[in-house]
Structure 1
């Protein structure tokens, strides 16, 4: 056999593609079919010569080939319902040398439904095992989130993720600062999950959610008969439950001074004394604290102890607000759309540019928590495949619209000035000296403007 005889000929290629295990379809830039292999035609029950030139939606049920051509974005391993069965479809856009979409090709696998059922059962079995393992890990340790759950590619988020990796293995105390809704708890979980204590408990306590008279017993536990209504056998506190692992104290800035003293002693001595106990109990706990309060100002006002502050503030973490990392909004929106659609069964593929522009310019006082709630409502209100401006809250759409003709230029400028002052004050936790510096004005000028705009 010569070299020429061993080359792959055009006829051979045609035969291979026509009879390939995968079903193959190719469409042009208008979504019209220009090729469909014999296997696909045979399954659907059409003549491959008759389908040429027809729009793909007329031939293949539940197809999205025309959408891939429009968006220029590939869709891999997507489930497609064809003739009573779910198949696995891959759709890939075809570009010319100038980067323009000139068509798309798609493949569908598992034409043998019995084979698909077998694979489906295997996948479900494996997913079940993985889910059980994750649930068991969560039950044993209390960890729900990892570093992968923190969505964002902004410089600030990348730096924080790197910082988590650097210090997770150490046992030093960490104070996580940030506004409400920025994801402080996600970072706490991630630090524990990457630490040497990852197989030990992760216990959390919201200091603001527990009444003052119950906080001591929640933290340190109590002995049987310590007070009226005490459980038989007593109760372990959060410190003892976290022994060997990590204790996450959220909203630590809301803790009273008497409790701060008891917490400091536990951290310094490495021991706790349950209510009603005769002697203290040794514990080995790493503490991660979090707050959105201005602790430095509270220290000046004698509302937060200096010694406790320096004990928990060994490594500070400042989580940026959403308005400080607006470049992450598009990623977060996409993440929440997928998450909510998976849970609800809705099919929303993306967000329009106008809607994303409104979302990117909004101030987000509630940060990521508020964004998720907005996207959840928008998904339920949507009727198409994209989130549009119309399904966003009215206050969000109106917050950046300029009422042309209803206000003078002077009034519009004053409104803008007021918003700039409010946003800067929020960003720097009402620190007026820093706010004035950031705005490029004197402190006396800032106070005049606060009075003029009636800003408290």
Structure 2
């Protein structure tokens, strides 16, 4: 009969090369809780030589180890936290049983720290949301303390949106304060919801406050609450503030640039001390919240003009995320258009119309100062005014219709056209740029189709888009 140590040695030798290539940390001990095998990644973290620690007691090499206890009890321990060198790792330990006898144990550190676990958890949530989207019939406004937007609600496949979504997924798990910046209508609230949904606080409340929509004299009571009889007209029994309601969850302060200076000081104190004091109270209440703020205003300019506190700015500007305006991602306009029209179709039971080529060209050429919100409003108006299954250019607002450029390349035939001015290279560059724009218009922003129309590869098209800053 093969001896116990020999069995372990044969198994370890057979899988040594594989175990050394894994990112996970692997440890095998014998029935006496002495180290039999440690893979190289684990040894590197501990600062030891994997060969030199063989035969040593595991308790002498690894702090807070429980491998010897697993051998004694013969029971597995799954996904437990173990602190090693000031790092909280997540480990599982399993007894090795041969013919009813415990002959050793194997330990696996699945995540090197709890932050890594949280990031993986956020990533899994994002993937699960893609597989299980919210039902179309579900109303997102039933519970004001719940996040009802997910990352899957973001429409677009442009490079800017893909990079933004990746950043949101990475940041969501960190429980860090986030400042969302972008023009009105770029989707700041949607992304605030998505961050909460992907975070470890997703089962706790999501409370949002529009700082621009609450009168200044009511802001303090809205944010911090008040006690019974705190002032004339106070609700009997008092009222909890948004901070108290968001405890253990996420507080989203939208349009924080509109917050009065007097409230900025009180907000700063609440964030620094992690406690709030309701109006009429003489004792503070501890709070545990994640803060997300948003603004379309340039806070740096407000600091210089004395309208925003610099110390508050640094408190909320831990992770700064900028949302791209719609004009910087025109390739998403066609998908957004289809999304909004189909949403209106589901809401009304009416067949979704399609835009004519001229109408789509106008949408692609327009500057969109109101961004996605303006596009949605334009399409809703056209949806309810069209009498057919198409939306012509004439049903779009005048300012959008004016953006429908004439055939710039055809107009270049005129002597005074800028296309024919400059060197031959400059003229060819301008002609190439116009041809690419026209192909994108004809393909409704679809770059793959545009590349086929132009007779070039998709990678070549991307190079030319970058060259011409399209």
Which TM-score band applies after superposition, normalised by the shorter structure? 0.5 to 0.7
Q: Does 1:287 align with 2:285?
A: no
Structure 2 match to 1:358 = 362
- On the 8 A contact 2:344/2:352 being kept in 1, the answer is no
- Whole-Å Cα distance in 2 between the matches of residues 139 and 210 of structure 1? 20
- Whole-Å Cα distance in 1 between the matches of residues 325 and 144 of structure 2? 32
- Whole-Å Cα distance in 1 between the matches of residues 141 and 401 of structure 2? 43
Structure 1 match to 2:38 = none
1:158 aligned residue (159, 162, 187)? 162
CA deviation after TM superposition for structure 1 residue 382, in Å: 1.8
Q: Structure 1's 138 and 158: CA in aligned 2 closer, same or farther, altered over 3 A?
A: farther
Deviations, residues 240-294 of structure 1 (Å, cap 9, x unaligned) = 0000000000000001111111001111111000011011000101110000011
Q: Does 1:306 align with 2:310?
A: yes
Q: Does 1:178 align with 2:182?
A: yes
Structure 2 match to 1:384 = 388
Deviations, residues 57-91 of structure 1 (Å, cap 9, x unaligned) = xxxxxxxxxxxxxxxxxxxxxxxxxxxxxxxxxxx
The aligned runs of 1:369-408 (5 Å cut-off) are: 369-400=373-404
- Whole-Å Cα distance in 2 between the matches of residues 324 and 130 of structure 1? 31
Q: Structure 1's 274 and 312: CA in aligned 2 closer, same or farther, altered over 3 A?
A: same
Q: Does 1:274 align with 2:275?
A: no
Q: Does 1:345 align with 2:349?
A: yes
Structure 2 match to 1:167 = 171
- Whole-Å Cα distance in 2 between the matches of residues 372 and 137 of structure 1? 19
State the Cα RMSD in Å.
Answer: 2.7
The alignment covers a number of residue pairs equal to 281
1:251 aligned residue (247, 255, 259)? 255
Structure 2 gaps, min length 5: 1-131, 409-413, 419-470
Structure 2 match to 1:262 = 266
Structure 2 match to 1:233 = 237
- On the 8 A contact 2:211/2:258 being kept in 1, the answer is yes
- Whole-Å Cα distance in 1 between the matches of residues 136 and 334 of structure 2? 29
- Whole-Å Cα distance in 1 between the matches of residues 300 and 310 of structure 2? 9
The aligned runs of 1:409-428 (5 Å cut-off) are: none
The aligned runs of 1:191-206 (5 Å cut-off) are: 191-206=195-210
Structure 1 match to 2:224 = 220
CA deviation after TM superposition for structure 1 residue 301, in Å: 1.6
Deviations, residues 12-48 of structure 1 (Å, cap 9, x unaligned) = xxxxxxxxxxxxxxxxxxxxxxxxxxxxxxxxxxxxx
SS at match of 2:143: helix
TM-score, structure 2 as length reference: 0.56
- Whole-Å Cα distance in 2 between the matches of residues 199 and 401 of structure 1? 50
- On the 8 A contact 1:348/1:387 being kept in 2, the answer is no
SS at match of 1:296: helix
Q: Does 1:329 align with 2:333?
A: yes
CA deviation after TM superposition for structure 1 residue 392, in Å: 1.1
Structure 2 match to 1:88 = none
Q: Structure 1's 383 and 274: CA in aligned 2 closer, same or farther, altered over 3 A?
A: same
SS at match of 1:139: coil
Deviations, residues 119-158 of structure 1 (Å, cap 9, x unaligned) = xxxxxxxx9x9689x6699628421210011111111111
- Whole-Å Cα distance in 1 between the matches of residues 370 and 276 of structure 2? 36
Q: Does 1:207 align with 2:211?
A: yes
Q: Structure 1's 291 and 130: CA in aligned 2 closer, same or farther, altered over 3 A?
A: closer
The aligned runs of 1:47-86 (5 Å cut-off) are: none
- Whole-Å Cα distance in 2 between the matches of residues 212 and 314 of structure 1? 26
Structure 2 match to 1:53 = none
TM-score, structure 1 as length reference: 0.58
CA deviation after TM superposition for structure 1 residue 383, in Å: 2.4
SS at match of 2:293: strand
- Whole-Å Cα distance in 2 between the matches of residues 198 and 192 of structure 1? 6
- On the 8 A contact 2:365/2:403 being kept in 1, the answer is no
Q: Structure 1's 177 and 149: CA in aligned 2 closer, same or farther, altered over 3 A?
A: same
Deviations, residues 344-396 of structure 1 (Å, cap 9, x unaligned) = 22212432222111001111111111100110111112222222212212221
